[in-house]
Amino acid sequence: MSAVVVTPAERDAFTARAHARAVRRVMRSVGQVMLVIGGVFWAIFLVVTVGVPLVVRQVGGVMGGGAMTGAEYAAPWFALSLGLIAVAALVVPHLAAGGTRRSLFTGALVAALAAGVAYGVAYALLLLVERALFGALGWEWEQLGSGLDAGGAWLVVTAAGEAIAVVVYALVGVAAQASYRTYGVWRGTALLLPGLALLVLVDHATRHGAFADAFGALGLGGDGAPAALGLLQALVVLALAAGWAWWQLRTLRLRPTR
C-alpha cells in the first residue's frame, strides 16, 4: 500500500478550512449571546422609553429628559458583561476541540463588531422614537449629554459613537475573562487597569458615558470637539482594545481547578 502524500498546498488549505470553521463557531456562539440577549435589553428599553413618558403624562407631569440616557450608559457595560460571559462559556470547549487562540480572537472580534453595529442602530432608532413621542405629547426633547459637535448629522454620529463604545467594552470584557483564566484572581484583577483605561479613553473620545461625565465635571470634557476627530480617536481606542484582547487571548492558559 502506497503512502498518501500531502502537499504543502493541501496542508495549508486544510488548515485554512479548519480555522474558518472554528472562527464561524466562535462568531455564532458569541454573537448569539450578544445579539439575542442584547435584543431583550433593547426591547426592555423600548418599553421603558414609551411607557414612562405616558405614565408621567397620565399623572399630569412633564419630563425634562427621556429614558434613553440610561441606555447610553448601560449598553456598553451590558456588552462588557456579555463578553465576559460568552468567553467564559466557550473557551474550554473551544480549546479542547482543537480550536486555536487566533480563531477564538477572530470570532470574538467579528461578533463584537456585529453587536456594536446592532446596538448603535438600536440606540439611534430608540432616540427617534423618544423624540417623536415627546413631540406628540407636546414636550420639548433634546439629546442629553455633551456629545460630539455633529450638527445635522447628530443621529449618525451618536449611533457611531455608541457602536464603537460597545465594541471596545465587549473586547475589554473578553480580555478580562482571558486574564483571569491565565493569571488567577490577583494578577487578573491588576490587569483590569489597562482595560479600564481603554474604557475611559473611548468615553472621552465619544463624549458620552459615565467616564465622559467625570471628565466634564473636572472641566476636561472637551465639549464642542469636531465629530470626525472624536470618532477617529474612538477608532484608535478600538484598535488598542482589539490589540489588548489579542494579547490576552494569545497568552491564554487554562489553570486547573482545585
Instruction: With a cut of 60, say whether residue 221 has pLDDT above it.
Output: no
The 10 Å Cβ neighbour count of residue 174 is: 32
Q: What is the 3-state secondary structure (H, E, C) of 21-33?
A: HHHHHHHHHHHHH
Of the candidates 20, 181, 177, 175, the residue with the CA atom closest to the CA atom of residue 99? 20
User: For 138, which DSSP code?
Assistant: T
pLDDT at 11: 66
Q: pTM value?
A: 0.89
Instruction: With a cut of 70, say whether residue 2 has pLDDT above it.
Output: no
Once rounded to an integer, what is the mean pLDDT over residues 84-88? 90
pLDDT at 62: 85
pLDDT tens readout for residues 8-42: 766 667 567 777 888 888 889 898 999 999 999 99
| Residues 87 and 129: beta-carbon distance below 8 Å | no
**In whole angstroms, what is the distance from residue 148 CA to residue 208 CA?**
8
Instruction: With a cut of 80, say whether residue 202 has pLDDT above it.
Output: yes
C-alpha cell at 146: 455633551
Burial 152-166 (b: 16+ CB within 10 A, else e): eebbebbbbbbbbbb
Lowest mean pLDDT among 196-200, 207-211, 234-238: 207-211
Instruction: With a cut of 60, say whether residue 78 has pLDDT above it.
Output: yes
User: For 151, which DSSP code?
Assistant: G
Give the pLDDT band (50/70/90) at residue 91: confident
pLDDT at 204: 87
Instruction: With a cut of 60, say whether residue 216 has pLDDT above it.
Output: no
pLDDT at 5: 61
pLDDT at 66: 79
pLDDT at 121: 95
Most confident listed range (67-76, 113-122, 141-150, 155-164)? 113-122
Once rounded to an integer, what is the mean pLDDT over residues 224-238? 86
pLDDT at 150: 65
pLDDT tens readout for residues 141-199: 876 655 676 666 888 888 999 999 999 999 999 999 999 888 888 888 998 999 999 99
